[in-house]
Amino acid sequence: MGAQKIAIRQKPSTSTVTDMAEVRYTEAEIKSLDWREHIRLRPGMYIGKLGDGSSPDDGIYVLLKEVLDNSIDEYTMGFGKQIEVSIADGSVYVRDYGRGIPLGKVVDVVSRINTGAKYDNKAFKKSVGLNGVGTKAVNALSERFKVISYRDGQSKWAEFEYGRLVKESKLEPTNEPNGTAVFFRPDSGMFRHYRWVPEYVEQQLWNYAYLNAGLKIIFNGKVFQSKNGLLDLLTKKTSAEHIRYPIIHLVGEDIEIALTHGEHYGEQYYSFVNGQHTTQGGTHLNAFKEALVKTVRDHFKKNFDAKDIRESIIAAISVRIEEPVFESQTKTRLGSERISPDGPSIRTWMSDFLCKALDDYLHKNPDTAKEMLKRILQSERERKDIADVKKLANQRARAANIHNKKLRDCRYHLNEKGPEEKRLESTLFITEGDSASGSLTKARNVDTQAVFSLRGKPLNCYGLTKKIVYQNEEFNLLQHALNIEDSIEDLRYNRVVIATDADVDGMHIRLLMLTFFLQFFPDLVRNGHLYILETPLFRVRDKHQTFYCYSEAEKLEAIQKLRGKPEITRFKGLGEISPSEFSRFIGPDMRLQPVIFHERTNLDQILEYYMGKNTPERQEFIIENLRVEVDVADGLPLEKEEK
């Protein structure tokens, strides 16, 4: 068609005539994006969602991972036993002691797409990243990026801004040991209001340490190091008094497994491929589950239900395979079917290893085998005990789904096909009352945000069995809305957000919902899916400006900015915030407080202390931590409550 202009006029069968806009198709319309522009225009293709750092799968943690992966690959090749990481004022510095980037390629490696050593399988046979994109994405999505290579007494550095080279050095002599240093500051315009959550970074670094026994990582002065790999991981994730038998640790060529059974509900897995934490599992985790069931059945010579074998299991699985294929750029789920292009299937490989190694272990450790059997039989009894209750509950849930208005669903879900960025943004708000749920429903993004409305205060379920989840209508409908009845692998929403009023009743409901998830679905919390919604406490405004403030300090700052006699409104409930205003607080600038398990979190002790009997220790804690509210706005305009 060349430079020809085409005007299309279509006459429909009705009396209405539609004029379509002029369509141009010339050389001017053909555009070629350079590597930097493409990454910045389509960041989701490279790092998943952007986010603000409140979620462990937000983009800033992927940027850090991409830089660290290169340092880890050097360690696995036998170069450099220490990595230093520091984060301050939003900026990141990573220094390894590997071989250092070849000095003549320092600029190319971080700014030319499809450039890197990982295409040579001899050098990086079982590396995490094989696409040559990693550090280029970090560079393109950073306000400032600097790379320094130290190699055999010489060094070279290059500085970039938003992926554009602004300065580079010539070769310079140095006394620094070999290695690579990378500094980057994420683009604050793209990662709006981002913040680094130290617990997420530390979890990331601990995983690297567990998977690379002997490696020393120093983060802001804190040392991360493991001697026993996945055995150390499970030891930190569990407490001796809450597991049924000592952790079983099995190690083979390119495969490592640690497992035990606990007293909790659900299944808890930590899976890794070539050092990458595959939070959504994949073929290797599925293969492990199948192999575990087969091995246990064969060992005890009884055809147990697979759910009874896996109930309350805690396991960590790490494999190294050639040319891994992941189902997304963020590498959270393995799609490979074979351990190498010409090798056996992952399923066969896993089955062969586990059937021999685990069976041998159980024969050599009969006490462990006896405790495993007891736990399986206990799960079997509990499952049969609630079978009838569960059946009736499922019938009620199906009937309720036809008529009830408790769930206002969204279009995209985590466990269904669709754009990855949309699936990762899928969110369920759990709120109480028609007023609050009404405001949320009117203000939400119908593509990615759903609302579940509670009726009154939930039951305190601490110490109760899972039967109560099916007997209690609220809990039963909620677990069906989340689709976690059988496994959280089928979870429909990536983020589950508790949204309650900022008053005593709201805090109580929040605590009861936290107890529900921690008691019956702790792996949903461990995998970083549970959040608390932060909404503004105050609105400070005059005729020209409006500020929404989340604390007394922010309120005072807003008053100072207005410099007049502003109107100050104290929001007591979510329902008091109009839908037009609410859209500001659940949109791009939404503030979410993640519910995080620390390394040494003892779930049983926490629940018993806060939700168990009213002990003298808890009374003393409450008395010591009572806060006396002082009117810091003394002399300022009086606040009015939003009606």
pLDDT, tens digit (0-9, with 9 covering 90-100), for 114-142: 555 554 444 455 655 544 568 899 999 99
Structure tokens at 50: 């952007």
Distant-in-sequence, close-in-space partners of 306: CB < 8 Å, separation ≥ 6: 289, 293
DSSP 243: B
Q: In what order do the strands lie in the sheet with 538-541?
A: 546-549, 538-541, 567-570, 639-641
Quick one: what percent of the chain has pLDDT higher than 90?
A: 42
Q: What is the pLDDT of residue 17?
A: 41
pLDDT at 511 over 80: yes
Please tell me the predicted confidence (pLDDT) of residue 289: 95
Instruction: Classify residue 336 by burial, with Cβ atoms within 10 Å: 0-12, 13-18, 19+.
Output: buried
Contacts of 631 (CB under 8 A, 6+ apart): none
Q: Average pLDDT for residues 501-513, to the nearest whole number?
A: 86
Distances (CA, A) of 325 to 127, 272, 278, 328, 340: 11, 13, 12, 9, 10
Question: Beta strand pairing status for 567-570 and 276-277?
Answer: unpaired
CATH of 44-225, one of 3.30.565.10, 1.10.3720.10, 3.40.718.10, 3.40.190.100: 3.30.565.10
Distance CA 136, CA 117 (A): 14
Q: What is the pLDDT of residue 143?
A: 95
Copy the structure tokens of residue 611.
Answer: 């939700």
Of the pLDDT bands very low, low, confident and very high (cuts 50, 70, 90), residue 212 is: very high
Mean pLDDT of 386-396: 79
Q: How confident is the model at residue 369 (pLDDT cuts 50, 70, 90)?
A: very high
Q: Residue 33: which pLDDT band, with cuts at 50, 70 and 90?
A: low
pLDDT on residue 255: 94
Is the domain 230-385 a CATH 3.30.230.10 member? yes
Where does 387-535+573-612 sit in CATH, by number? Answer: 3.40.50.670
Give the per-residue pLDDT at 117: 53
d(CA 221, CA 333): 32
Mean residue pLDDT across the chain: 83
pLDDT of residue 643: 37
Q: How buried is 602 (Cβ within 10 angstroms: 0-12 exposed, 13-18 middle, 19+ buried)?
A: middle
Q: Is the confidence at residue 169, as pLDDT, over 80?
A: yes
Q: Which of 524-528, 568-572, 576-580 has the lowest mean pLDDT?
A: 576-580
The better pLDDT of the pair 501, 412 is held by: 412
Report yes or no: 451 and 408 within 8 Å, Cβ to Cβ.
yes
Q: How far is CA 15 from CA 7, 11, 359, 475, in A?
A: 20, 8, 78, 55
| Residue 544 tokens, joined | 């020209």
User: Cβ atoms within 10 A of the Cβ of 583, count?
Assistant: 16
d(CA 393, CA 325): 40
Instruction: Please answer whether residues 106 and 84 qualify as being in contact, where contact means their C-beta atoms are separated by less than 8 angstroms.
Output: no
Lowest mean pLDDT among 21-35, 484-498, 579-593: 21-35
Cα–Cα distance, 584 to 550 (Å, whole number): 13
> Can you give the pLDDT at residue 116?
53
Look up residue 250 and give its DSSP letter.
E
Specify the higher pLDDT residue, 45 or 369: 369
Residue 16 scores a pLDDT above 80: no
| Residue 376 to residue 133: CA distance in whole angstroms | 46
- Give residue 92's pLDDT band: very low, low, confident or very high (50, 70, 90): very high
The phi, psi pair for 581, rounded to 5°, reads: -75, -40
Indicate the range of 101-115, 433-447, 590-604 predicted with least confidence: 590-604
Name which of 109, 76, 114, 81 is nearest 95 in CA terms: 81
pLDDT of residue 330: 64
Q: What's the gap between Cα 249 and its chain centre?
A: 27
Predicted local distance difference test score (pLDDT) of residue 247: 95
Average pLDDT value for residue range 364-388: 92
Max avg pLDDT among 173-187, 480-494, 585-599: 173-187
- Of the listed ranges 83-97, 297-311, 508-522, 579-593, the least confidently predicted one is 579-593
Position 380 pLDDT exceeds 60: yes
Q: Concatenate the DSSP letters of all residues of 272-297 into one string.
A: EETTEE-TT-BHHHHHHHHHHHHHHH
Domain locations along the chain = 44-225, 230-385, 387-535+573-612, 538-570+630-641
pLDDT at 353: 95
Ramachandran region, residue 133 (left: φ > 0; alpha: ψ -120 to 50; beta: rest): alpha
Distance CA(258)–CA(250), nearest Å, equals: 6
Higher-pLDDT residue of 551 and 132 is 551
What does the pLDDT average to over 486-504?
Answer: 87
Q: Using a pLDDT cut of 70, give the percent of the chain over it.
A: 86
Helix %, strand %, coil % for the chain, to 5?
40, 20, 40
Backbone angles phi, psi at 147, to 5 degrees: -125, 135
Instruction: Work out the average pLDDT over 579-583.
Output: 84
Please check the confidence at residue 543 and state whether its pLDDT lies above 90: no
How far is C-alpha 129 from the geometric centre of its chain's CA atoms?
20
Residue scoring higher pLDDT (498 or 601): 498
Which of 9-23, 222-236, 590-604 has the lowest average pLDDT? 9-23
How confident is residue 400, by pLDDT bands cut at 50, 70 and 90?
A: low
d(CA 577, CA 409): 21
pLDDT category of residue 55 using cuts at 50, 70 and 90:
confident
- Rounded Cα distance between 58 and 55, Å, is 5
Closest CA to 415 of 337, 476, 494: 494
Q: Say how many residues make up the chain.
A: 643
A 10 A CB-CB count for 14 gives: 7
User: For the ranges 80-84, 328-332, 364-368, 453-457, which has the lowest average pLDDT?
Assistant: 328-332
What does the pLDDT read at residue 192?
86
Task: Give 163-168's long-range contacts (Cβ < 8 A, gap of 24+).
Answer: 163/35, 163/36, 163/39, 163/40, 163/111, 163/136, 163/139, 164/36, 165/107, 165/111, 168/106, 168/107
